[in-house]
Amino acid sequence: MIELEQMVIELSEAFGPSGFEGEVRQKIASWVGEYTNVTYDHFGSLIAVHSGTTMSPKVMLAAHMDEVGLMVRGILPGGELRVVTLGSWWPPSLLAQPVVIRSREGDRLGVIGAKPPHYLREEERNRQLKLDDLYIDVGARSAVEVQAMGIAPGDPVVPAVQTRPLSGQSVYMGKAFDDRLGCAVLANVLQTLGSHHPNQVVGVATVQEEVGLRGAKAVSPVIQPDICIVLEGVPADDFPGNSIVQGRMGGGPQIRRFDPTMIANQALVDLLIDTAQQSGIPYQVAVRESGGTDASAIQVHTHGGVPTTVIGIPVRYAHSHQGIADIRDVSHTAALVREFIFRLDLKTVNHLKQNPW
Ligand code: CO
């Protein structure tokens, strides 16, 4: 069984922007295949069924495999690549960052360029950078040179980043922690659950979350879960000047009561908090002013609705080249989910369904 820490490193470094999740899926399948029955839907999501002592209730755990990335749109005469985004980026965070372009002939390195500051006019300096100002520079001098490298419109792009430890033993810097940390929890729980849980667990690694929860919308009606927990790498809010901190890195799993796209089943949240307290697992509770996850799609894309919430692992600088996260938050999340699954027998889940608040 692979260590959680090694799992995080491998998942973080895997290539997998929205619509190109194959490498991530292959890793998860190789880790959980021995413990679950793995199938795929027609859109790319992985479905791993873990049998317990009974077939019902059906407990869905979901994590998305895709990371925010780019796609080559076209090649300018000078050899620069224009791009479209796969998921949401804040353009200033892209400037001067290294990227890898997956061409049909292999991976190519580039850097995100823009007009150099030395050449900017006054009015250009004072306005915010837009995606249109940016391009990928692969070190070529013409479109012909770029074509000779095998690069073509449609090639997917992700940050070129190695996952590295920071000070301390458990904090790492790397890309795609949103949501490879959730994928790591999913795989770890499926590996360590054992067969005595009073339910059927269905682990789902979804595709295309970052472009509008498309994978979750496609797969939920197929699963028809009785209850669902979404596992997410969520933006940490422990930055300077924030007076309401609900997602501190190292503060433990963050249980979500609300975001603008989802009102969680409050009884489910209460039961999760109970479980954390009784198991001595640190936790934090979030009421978010923005954001949304696969949970908003899953909770309404099943007949009659599904009691749902999100458990988040705080990630500083999500949707950028260098996120920072604490592995202890990942292992605490896995411990909480594992404990929780053993509480979800038919009676408890039926109660949550009938008494959501
Ligand atoms: Co995410």
Distance from the CA of 147 to the center of ligand 1, in angstroms? 33
pLDDT at residue 301 greater than cutoff 90: no
Torsion of the alpha carbons at 266, 272, 274 and 275, rounded to the nearest 10: 160
* Token digits of residue 328: 């202890």
Q: Which of 21, 67, 80, 209 is catalytic?
A: 209
Confidence band of 344 (pLDDT split at 50, 70, 90): very high
Distance from the CA of 349 to the center of ligand 1, in angstroms? 26
Distance from the CA of 294 to the center of ligand 1, in angstroms? 8
For the segment 273-284, the average pLDDT, to the nearest whole number, is 98
Distance from the CA of 170 to the center of ligand 1, in angstroms? 21
Residue 187: CA atoms inside 13 Å, Cβ hemisphere, count? 32
Distance from the CA of 33 to the center of ligand 1, in angstroms? 24
Q: What's the mean per-residue pLDDT of the chain? A: 97
What is the model's pLDDT at position 303?
82
Distance from the CA of 130 to the center of ligand 1, in angstroms? 23
Q: How far apart are the first and last CA of the chain?
A: 39
What is the model's pLDDT at position 1?
73
Tell me which H or E stretch contains 49. Answer: strand 46-50
> Is 209 in the active site?
yes
Tell me which H or E stretch contains 218. Answer: helix 214-223
Instruction: Compute φ and ψ for 247, nearest 5 degrees.
Output: -145, 65
pLDDT at residue 325 greater than cutoff 90: yes
Task: Please give all residues whose CB falls under 5 A of ion ligand 1, grouped by chain where several chains appear.
Answer: 178-179
What is the model's pLDDT at position 175?
98
